[in-house]
């Protein structure tokens, strides 16, 4: 049995809206997973090693060479600027002692993005 055209359209619209309602949950789950991956990289002494220089809530044996990483969304509302800072801080401050993670190949582009997502969540 075939449904009238207007009922088919209505049922399609309802199905579409139902799927769209699920997207925020999926997106937030993906975002949370990325933040957790970024945290692992940031705390990994052989990778990001952010704790060597920065205090981060939940981190052990934090350094004090760099500023504490708190209220980072307020300090870096533009994600790309934060990511660029982690990639190569020398661009904004040629005298920085922060390692240029991207140019030196310490972290891949994907890893830098994950670390930046975590840092911005602080």
Burial of 55 (0-12, 13-18, 19+ CB in 10 A): middle
d(CA 1, CA 76): 58
pLDDT at residue 2 in the model: 61
What's the pTM value of the predicted model, to 2 decimals? 0.76
d(CA 1, CA 117): 51
pLDDT at residue 24 in the model: 55
pLDDT at residue 61 in the model: 85
pLDDT at residue 50 in the model: 95
| Structural domains for the chain | 31-121 (1.10.760.10)
pLDDT at residue 60 in the model: 86
Which stretches within the chain are classed as H helix?
5-43, 72-75, 79-87, 109-121
Question: Does the pLDDT of residue 5 top 70, yes or no?
Answer: no
Question: Does the pLDDT of residue 36 top 60, yes or no?
Answer: yes
pLDDT digits (tens, 9 = 90+) for 18-28: 555 555 555 57
């Amino acid at each position: 049995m075939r449904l009238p055209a207007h009922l088919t359209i209505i049922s399609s619209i309802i199905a579409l809206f139902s799927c769209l309602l699920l997207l925020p949950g999926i997106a937030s789950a993906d975002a949370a997973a990325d933040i957790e991956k970024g945290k692992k990289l940031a705390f990994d002494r052989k990778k990001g090693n952010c704790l060597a220089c920065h205090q981060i809530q939940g981190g052990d044996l934090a350094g004090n060479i760099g500023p504490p990483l708190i209220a980072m969304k307020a300090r870096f509302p533009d994600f790309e600027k934060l990511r660029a800072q982690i990639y190569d801080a020398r661009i904004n401050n040629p005298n920085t002692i922060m390692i240029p993670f991207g140019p030196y190949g310490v972290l891949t582009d994907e890893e830098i993005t994950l670390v930046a997502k975590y840092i911005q969540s602080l």
